[in-house]
Chains A and B, each alone.
Chain A
């Protein structure tokens, strides 16, 4: 047994009996009809590589990385195969995808940028300058096609980053819980408004909110792209900080982060000093919607007159099995009408950095999603995850319907704000 075959011989492989019930739930299989681009096919590939029957070479890597990691196959699987862990093990052996240059860029991002929110913000400031100074307009036509596509995917960097006024903010009304909030890397840079809304909503629901300054990125992008060294360090830091802050729950408003944090126990399973703490941290981690629905959401008094459709983020529906809670919260908003969309739990093609690494497949998946959005006739889409929000906004511009995309916390915050009590809601944006 070589080091590689040993690394790939994980017990999760044993549970797959090849029934094929995952096939049609897989976005890449639906597009290609190719078995190597299906969950069953990829599991078979990893199994064959773990037996030394094939090499984990470039072709193997292409199949493993064409996967969006949406984990819809896990929901479909009758045997409970943990596909995500199998794919992550393969990606750990392979390292990040793409050309040597692309891999170097990713490694730099995963090991140097994401672990440091300060550096990440400097990059964002640079990007903002590029977008606002007119440089973008000059440079864009000069880029090669592939880079131009990637450039088009870059989100607009807003004016301000998330910087709460204090590390601890009191509950509004009687205190029901003390919760930590993950600021997040992308969330704090690109979605300061959503983070602020989340904090306000939590406080209105009787939560004392703790936002530790020293926290960092959760490491989800690293884990999904075969980088675990920095990811483990990032996990340990968050575990120490949040467990040390005496909170009843750690609240996340990004589905991808929540799924990864709930699985810190697996990430650190071979670290005796952290294994147990990681599992405890995983149990404390809650998606904002999951937590509020379980706590019993304070019914908003203000109205939001809007017909929306809901996109289940993959890492919420499949990764965390959170499906009903966001719908309960939506139903609590007076005036809001939910029209369900066909395949609402099917991936939108964002998938972390997938839309940049695999623009063609990402947009094929996205165009189908936008067709489903269009069928609902909804005035807006609700998608409580930053990746989905950026992707669906891009999809609205490229394929239509060009409707606004909101985070669930945006709408709740707006509903509370519209009651005309307490702090302001972000009414002007809706």
Chain B
């Protein structure tokens, strides 16, 4: 207890009274991110700049407690949940865009900057920031770096790691260093690459230098409507198989359309089994040709209708529906559990049949909305946690889906990260030797294992067990 009190006062001294939260009515809102796992933090610190982050890291080291970085708390794998207590470090106040350099097409950002704000700041120069997670209106650059986030447009542009040139990080002992840099390649180890996708387990990213892309001359958005899921997935196989790489190639199924259209009419046909949202862009001539080709392929594979958005407003309505799909699940059920498995594109038809079979087998409703072009599934299992036994079935069904993805030659996560929820599924993909090699890298940066512990690497107990055996639950763990 003595340690806690001195930690609190040390933090208060560094950050000021207002930005160190310890009261239950303050910290309880930080117990959850966008996933369904929750553990109440002991203390939440909100630093204003890198120096304050370093002060928090040093204080936590002296008190020997874990540090859990948090961006906007939109993550879907429990990455920002303080599973083993300690200090939650919210980077939300560090939201300054420090520089937009149109000549070199880069932006220097603090970790708490909102993804969409980068594009807003760059738009007047004809530039944009490419990785666009569905949560881009809320999620932070720091969180994107931690999870190596993707988005609908990463099909053409690549994920976060392809757009981060350098990062400023606070290391375990409070040192501040820059990794990577403004030039395309820096000599030596790619330590910036170690931080991208590390889920907060090797240090805290405080700034990022990101690449900006030039807005294309023309863009066209198509909506292909299908009466059979099989036909829709086959279209994806055909489109990508013929070497057409659209800017985005997204799938939404019947249940998702129902949720999205419940709010306001956005242009998705209710009752259709599946739709493909296809965006092509580039020079005008290329666009017209790509639109014709995509239309032809979809019609050949059995699309009931293919329509092209007539203006910017129609295109924005369609994208609004897609980007808000996850949030709109709340209209159908009080809880949803989303998986993030990946398969090679050619295996999409069979994996979607398997997801449908799992839905039937477990008696659970599943809404599919995902990055079809990347083979990155997002089955949202709808449920009510208060129904006894339902969560167990949900976890079993998720596990079955992930196993099917891995069996098809894929992966357990495309972009959401491993976090707390998939740390035991990671053994489906990696051998003990693989994991040991990764653990060595982690240990080099985090010798005490205090940066976001209980994430990414497997532990002897599963989330379900933690929930079922109260003795093992850290105070306040709810799943």
Contact = CB atoms under 8 A, between A and B. Distances in A.
Contacts of A21: 135, 137-138, 324, 327
Contacts of B25: 36, 45, 54-55, 57, 59-60, 63
Interface residues of B, number: 40
Nearest to B117: A24
A76 B34 CA distance: 16
A35 B331 contact: no
A100 B119 CA distance: 48
B46 A44 contact: no
B30 A35 contact: yes
A16 B23 contact: no
A327 B33 CA distance: 39
A18 B33 contact: yes
Interface of A: 14-24, 33-36, 38, 40-41, 44-45, 48, 53-55, 57, 59-60, 63, 76-81
Contact of A77 (B21, B90, B327, B335): B327
A17 B335 contact: yes
B241 interface: no
B93 interface: yes
B326 A17 contact: yes
Contact of B28 (A23, A24, A54): A54
14 contacts: A14-B330, A15-B330, A17-B326, A17-B330, A20-B73, A21-B137, A35-B29, A36-B26, A38-B29, A45-B28, A54-B28, A59-B26, A60-B25, A80-B328
Contact of B328 (A36, A40, A53, A79): A79
Contacts of B325: 78
Contacts of A78: 260, 263, 324-328, 330
B114 A24 contact: yes
Given A20-B34, A20-B138, A45-B25, 5 more contacts: A19-B135, A35-B90, A78-B260, A78-B330, A79-B330
B32 A20 contact: no
Contacts of A81: 330
A114 to B, nearest CB: 31
B413 interface: no
B29 A41 contact: yes
Nearest to B326: A19
Interface string B402-429: 0000000000000000000000000000
Interface of B: 21, 23-26, 28-34, 46, 72-74, 90, 92-93, 95, 112, 114, 135, 137-139, 260, 262-263, 324-331, 334-336
B391 to A, nearest CB: 15
Given A14-B334, A78-B263, A19 B26 contact: no
B309 to A, nearest CB: 20
Nearest to B139: A20
Contact of A33 (B24, B31, B33, B92): B92
Given A17-B336, A20-B34, A79-B330, A44 B29 contact: yes
A80 B21 CA distance: 30
Given A24-B114, A33-B92, A80-B262, A18 B34 contact: yes
Contact of A17 (B30, B262, B327): B327
A41 B44 CA distance: 14
Contacts of B32: 18, 44
A45 B328 CA distance: 21
Contacts of B34: 17-20
A53 B475 CA distance: 12
B331 to A, nearest CB: 5
A34 B91 CA distance: 10
A55 B25 CA distance: 8
Contacts of A77: 327
Nearest to A81: B330
Contact of A20 (B24, B135, B336): B135
A16 B326 CA distance: 11
Contact of B29 (A22, A36, A55, A76): A36
A16 B28 CA distance: 16
